[in-house]
Amino acid sequence: MLRRLRTISIASVTVVVLSTGCSTMGDSGADATEPSPEAAAGSQDVGGKVVLVSHESFNLPKKLVAAFERESGIDLVTRSAGDAGTLTAKLSLTKGNPTGDLAFGVDNTFASRPLDEGVFATYEPTLPAGAAEFALEEGADKLTPIDVGHVCVNVDTEWFEQEGINPPETLADLVDPTYQDLFVTPGASTSSPGMAFFLSTVAEYGDDWPDYWTRLLDNGAKVVDGWEDAYFGDFTQGGGKGTRPIVVSYDSSPAFTVPKGSDKSSTAALLDTCFRQVEYAGVLEGAANPDGAEAVIDWLLSTEVQAALPTAMYVFPVSDEAEVPADWAKHAVQPSAPMTVSPADIAANREQWLTEWTDVVTR
Amino acid sequence: MRRWLTLALLAAGPVLVVAVFFVLPVGGMVARGFVSDGVLDPGGVLQVLARPRVARVAWFTVWSAAAATAISVLLGLPAAFVLHRLALPGRKMIRAALLVPFVLPTVVVGVAFRLLLGEAGPLGFLGLDGTPVAIVIGLVFFNLAVVIRAVGAAWESLDARPAEAAAALGASPVQVWWTVTLPALRPAIVSAASIVFLFCATAFGIVLTLGGVRYATVETEIYLLTTTLFDLQAAAALSVLQLVVVVALLGLAARLRAVPDATAARTSSRPRRIRSGDVPALAVTVLVLGLVAAPIVTLVLGSFRTEAGWSLGNYRALTGVGSNDALLVPVTEALLTSVRTAVDATWMALLMGLAVAVLVTRRSQSRSERRVRSLLDGFFMLPLGVSAVTLGFGFLITLDRPPVDLRDSALLVPIAQALVALPLVVRTLVPVLAGIDDRQRQAAASLGASPWRALLTVELPVVWKPLLAASGFAFAASLGEFGATSFLARDDNPTVPIVIFRLIGHPGELNFGMALAASVVLAGTTAVVMLAVERLRVPNVGAF
């Protein structure tokens, strides 16, 4: 009898555990709810649910989103996963029956393919001052520039001071024996900043890039998988136990390495080595709520959102009207003449470049 | 006729789930690759396979996975013996702790290994960073637990008397091992090895982080081809190659697993005292523990290091969202989501796994029946051997229209995790169920027991412990699952591995420290749950 009781009690505990808190069941409706009646009443023109598809770095302050939802009557749902490449592949695969209404995060290295395939619908908002500079040459009627960042070689200025060596300044310096075994970069095939750095070498050396890369590797350059590995694993200022004082990172990175109680960053970006990455947003062809999607793009261009971008996503706003945070203004310097390669060129050559690059690196 | 009906009924549920959530998406994705510009083009796919790079990638995948599997089995067997047969103090704790690597997100393990093996790390002098050796060590680190647990569970319930009899008749320990113990354990060993091989051959994050860009496996190559190059044809070719290899491997494993008489007497024998002859096994166990502990210790130490020196700051920060709002929800909330999702995935996997295991171990009365059963056995192993990238994108393009527009459903995450855990459950249960003497069932039936009652009195007592082991496995696998989850989870409900990945990708020392702290919490949660599971006493079901 006692045994039987115990069996029953174990069974009932199991049932209780499953049917109450410890399950995701019954939770699925949470954000599929329709916008509340008041919200719908508050909106004059748009409203409804808008789904924003993005990559995993997408992030905006909750307060801003809530204020937008209140004012517009829109219920904004974001679905983000993977990196820019995954996002682009996802958009291409779901062309015509998209998982959302608009997409954010396709950048200039990936823009060409989804544009050619007709993933995006036409929408050309009025751009804030300064943003036109970042618009695409082809496809500006479909993709709207939202933010800009530069991938630059960063150096540990403290390390170079201590060693009494002048830090490098250009891509050519990196193959100088002075800097042997000091440089680490994420791979072009596995990382988006890695790809950007590779493209800056293409922009600088044209068809001779394989020769440059051979010399770079002969000089002891280390190629790792992702930016995290390079920065946190190998870079001397990455918080880990890195041994390499030169790394591929962003123009904004120096703003994050200001020691407490100091007003000088311990790292610097080399402004002659930068590749420009612009991220775009666009309304998706076949969107359930295209009007709502357009309203969200307008909102992304608003001064409030633009000003929030540096802190939230580590990128610079495209709008001149938005003010960047004080520590950015002080420590993160943007290059004036970054390197570029046209999206069409990238699309046409990506596969061949990456194959050749992999051959050079694994030789 | 009635047998076939029961078979069909038992099979229907799991088959339907795997068909909808696995066969359909993978099939859809592969089909995209076979059709170029609207015409079927199998020739183009074949051409891809002729590329020299593909051959290189395939060869590296096979040898690294084979090496890691062999090492895992060689190190895992003595450890399974020590931890499941010997009265080693604290063995339950150690067994629970050994499952920890299984749930650590690969990103974190990658960072830990690199802190350890990197140029400035304590083991940097070995020069292993970025070499294939590092990859193999990483794979072994992840998979040792599979061997120890699966083989240990079978070993624990193995009747010690035949071995004792052999020894009494003058057999040396080596002879006893070769002629009595090993044959009895062979099904479990082959099961574990085939799972480990599949895990290694489809490993993704660990190969990327530890191998840098120099070493590509089929899995990383599919990822590159799909996301960066959008070469769906080549990706489909590699997916098909993967499937073919997996099917061949499963066929081989089934052959090796088959023993003339799977019936080994099962008892729950008590652990025996440690003798001097156990020293070699103990030594290997210590080595295993060291291999598992080193990266974890690095992690734990790192998690206590903050800008202000050693402190609990990183742990306190887990209730927040990181510096510069790196996260949408605090880590503590993600932990709750993780546990809830894992509970769902576990019961789904157990339910399906039990049905499948019972299904494939029943004695067949005809050759065609046997064939159907062994085909089903292999079918449920497939999800382990196929690229998560192909599956993830497949979900997007096939489950996109009513009645199965599930692209945004919260249910998709536990289902995907259950699919990953299902083979673990099946492979843990099958060797034990297969070992039950059918005569026991017949005896029960002739004494008037209904099939249900026979199941409860004959099977359940034997299968109870392995079932616990399997549920622990499924839970751990689901807690640590990253590949499919990162694809399917929604931002407002991330699991801990996803949050950790996000933290590591955001600059700032606090975020890095929080990522390490969150990993330690995840690992701790698993260990605690495992311990609780092991402590559950077996109720005597025969009293019903």
Q: Which domains does chain A have, with CATH numbers?
A: 43-148+277-331 (3.40.190.10), 150-276+335-362 (3.40.190.10)
Q: Which of B111, B409, B491 sits opposite A233 (nearest CB)?
A: B111
By C-alpha distance, the chain B residue nearest A30 is: B410
Contact B343 A225 (CB under 8 A): no
Instruction: State yes or no: pLDDT of A173 exceeds 90.
Output: yes
By C-alpha distance, the chain A residue nearest B489 is: A81
**Please, which residues have CB within 8 angstroms of residue B521's CB and are 6 or more apart in sequence?**
B315, B318, B331, B335, B496
Report yes or no: B148 and B98 within 8 Å, Cβ to Cβ. Answer: yes
Report the distance separating Cα B379 and Cα B372, nearest Å.
Answer: 10
Q: How many CB atoms lie within 10 A of CB A119?
A: 25
- Token pair for residue B402? 């009513």
Which of B36, B208, B230 is the best residue to mutate to test the A interface, defined by the most A CB atoms within 10 Å of its own CB? B230
The neighbouring-strand residues paired with A284 are A120
Alpha-carbon Rg of chain B, whole angstroms?
A: 24
Please report residues of A whose CB lies closer than 8 A to that of B328.
Answer: 59, 62
Q: Which residue has the tokens 């919260």?
A: B410
Q: What pLDDT, on a 0 to 100 scale, did the predictor assign at position A16?
A: 43
Instruction: State yes or no: pLDDT of A154 exceeds 90.
Output: yes
End-to-end CA distance of chain B: 30
Which of B30, B114, B213, B482 is the best residue to mutate to test the A interface, defined by the most A CB atoms within 10 Å of its own CB? B213
Which of A3, A17, A76, A86 is the best residue to mutate to test the B interface, defined by the most B CB atoms within 10 Å of its own CB? A86
What domains, with CATH codes, occur in chain B?
2-33+40-543 (1.10.3720.10)
Q: How many CB atoms lie within 10 A of CB B126?
A: 13
Please report residues of B whose CB lies closer than 8 A to that of A56.
Answer: 486, 501-502, 505
Q: What is the DSSP letter of A338?
A: -
Banded pLDDT at A79 (limits 50, 70, 90): confident
Residue A261 touches chain B, beta carbons under 8 Å:
no
Report yes or no: A87 and A327 within 8 Å, Cβ to Cβ. Answer: no
How close B325 gets to chain A, by Cα (Å)? Answer: 7
What phi and psi, each to the nearest 5 degrees, are found at residue B405?
-85, 90
What is the mean predicted confidence (pLDDT) over A105-134?
91
What is the mean predicted confidence (pLDDT) over A195-211?
95
Residues 92-131, chain A, touching B (beta carbon < 8 A): 92-94, 97, 99, 113
The DSSP H or E segment spanning B415 is helix B412-434
Residue A363 touches chain B, beta carbons under 8 Å:
no
For the entire predicted model, the pTM comes to 0.80
Please report residues of A whose CB lies closer than 8 A to that of B333.
Answer: none
Q: Which residue has the tokens 């085939």?
A: B194
Report the distance separating Cα A110 and Cα A84, nearest Å.
Answer: 8
Residue A351 touches chain B, beta carbons under 8 Å:
yes
Report yes or no: A254 and A154 within 8 Å, Cβ to Cβ. Answer: yes
Whether the CA torsion B205, B210, B214, B217 is positive or negative: it is negative
Q: What pLDDT, on a 0 to 100 scale, did the predictor assign at position A13?
A: 45
Q: Is B44 exposed, middle or buried (0-12, 13-18, 19+ CB in 10 A)?
A: middle
Lowest-pLDDT choice from A37-46, A114-123, A236-245: A37-46
Instruction: State yes or no: pLDDT of A363 exceeds 70.
Output: no
What is the mean predicted confidence (pLDDT) over A61-68?
91
Which of A17, A24, A324, A353 is the best residue to mutate to test the B interface, defined by the most B CB atoms within 10 Å of its own CB? A24
**Please, which residues have CB within 8 angstroms of residue A261's CB and are 6 or more apart in sequence?**
none
By C-alpha distance, the chain B residue nearest A23 is: B340
Q: How many CB atoms lie within 10 A of CB A194?
A: 24
In this structure, what is the dihedral angle of CA atoms B403, B409, B411, B417, given to the nearest 10 degrees? 110
How close A150 gets to chain B, by Cα (Å)? Answer: 15
Q: Which of A82, A223, A231 sits opposite B212 (nearest CB)?
A: A223
Q: Which is it for strands B305-306 and B309-310: parallel, antiparallel or unpaired?
A: antiparallel
Q: Which of B130, B393, B513 sits opposite A93 (nearest CB)?
A: B393
Q: What pLDDT, on a 0 to 100 scale, did the predictor assign at position B1?
A: 65
- Token pair for residue A261? 């109680």
How close A338 gets to chain B, by Cα (Å)? Answer: 23
Alpha-carbon Rg of chain A, whole angstroms?
A: 24
Identify residue A54 by its one-letter amino acid code: S
Q: Which of A113, A253, A260 sits opposite B307 (nearest CB)?
A: A260
Q: Which of B228, B489, B541 sits opposite A7 (nearest CB)?
A: B541
pLDDT tens, N- to C-terminus, chain B (544 residues): 677 787 788 788 888 888 888 899 999 888 888 887 777 778 888 888 888 888 888 899 999 999 999 999 999 999 999 988 888 888 888 888 887 887 777 767 877 887 788 766 778 777 777 788 989 999 999 899 889 988 888 888 777 788 888 889 988 888 888 888 888 888 889 988 988 998 898 887 788 777 767 778 888 888 888 887 888 888 899 998 888 888 888 888 888 877 655 555 556 567 788 888 888 889 999 999 988 888 888 888 888 887 777 888 888 888 877 766 667 778 888 889 899 999 999 999 999 998 888 888 877 778 888 888 888 888 888 888 888 888 888 888 888 776 667 776 778 889 888 988 888 888 888 877 877 777 887 888 888 888 788 878 887 877 887 888 788 888 988 888 887 787 777 777 788 888 888 787 666 667 778 888 888 888 888 888 777 776 664 443 332 2
Which of A16, A91, A229, A253 is the best residue to mutate to test the B interface, defined by the most B CB atoms within 10 Å of its own CB? A229
Report yes or no: B191 and A173 within 8 Å, Cβ to Cβ. Answer: no
What pLDDT digit, counting tens, does each position of A239-255 carry?
766 889 999 999 999 98
Report the distance separating Cα B155 and Cα B458, nearest Å.
Answer: 19
Instruction: State yes or no: pLDDT of A20 exceeds 70.
Output: no
Question: Mapping DSSP to helix (H, G, I), strand (E, B) and coil, where does residue A347 land?
Answer: helix
Instruction: State yes or no: pLDDT of A27 exceeds 50.
Output: no
Contact A22 B340 (CB under 8 A): yes
Residue A340 touches chain B, beta carbons under 8 Å:
no
Report the distance separating Cα A168 and Cα A190, nearest Å.
Answer: 26
Q: What pLDDT, on a 0 to 100 scale, did the predictor assign at position A32?
A: 39
Report the distance separating Cα A294 and Cα A175, nearest Å.
Answer: 48
Please report residues of B whose CB lies closer than 8 A to that of A224.
Answer: 130, 212-213
Distances (CA, A) of B242 to B31, B221, B481: 15, 12, 20
Please report residues of B whose CB lies closer than 8 A to that of A89.
Answer: 226-227, 230, 393
Residue A190 touches chain B, beta carbons under 8 Å:
yes
By C-alpha distance, the chain B residue nearest A184 is: B212
Distances (CA, A) of B498 to A56, A192, B339, B511: 10, 19, 13, 14
Q: How many CB atoms lie within 10 A of CB B107?
A: 26
Report yes or no: A121 and B264 within 8 Å, Cβ to Cβ. Answer: no
What pLDDT digit, counting tens, does each position of B78-111 carry?
999 998 888 888 888 888 888 788 777 776 787 7
Please report residues of A whose CB lies closer than 8 A to that of B502.
Answer: 56
Report the distance separating Cα A331 and Cα A329, nearest Å.
Answer: 6
Q: What is the DSSP letter of A125?
A: P
Please report residues of A whose CB lies closer than 8 A to that of B415.
Answer: none
Longest dimension (CA), chain B: 73
Percent of chain A scoring above 70 in pLDDT = 86
Report the distance separating Cα B474 and Cα B429, nearest Å.
Answer: 12
Distance of CA A194 to the CA centre of its chain: 13
How close A311 gets to chain B, by Cα (Å)? Answer: 6
Banded pLDDT at A217 (limits 50, 70, 90): very high
Q: What pLDDT, on a 0 to 100 scale, did the predictor assign at position B253?
A: 83
Q: Which is it for strands A275-283 and A144-156: parallel, antiparallel or unpaired?
A: antiparallel
Helices (H), B205-330: 205-211, 218-223, 232-257, 279-303, 313-316
B493-523: b or e for each residue (b if 16 or more CB lie within 10 Å)?
Answer: bbbbbbbbbbbbbbbbbbbbbbbbbbbbbbb
Q: What pLDDT, on a 0 to 100 scale, did the predictor assign at position A102?
A: 95
Distances (CA, A) of A124 to A34, A100, A127, A301: 29, 19, 8, 12
Q: How many CB atoms lie within 10 A of CB B70?
A: 15
Contact B543 A3 (CB under 8 A): yes
Q: What pLDDT, on a 0 to 100 scale, did the predictor assign at position A46?
A: 67
Contact B397 A93 (CB under 8 A): yes
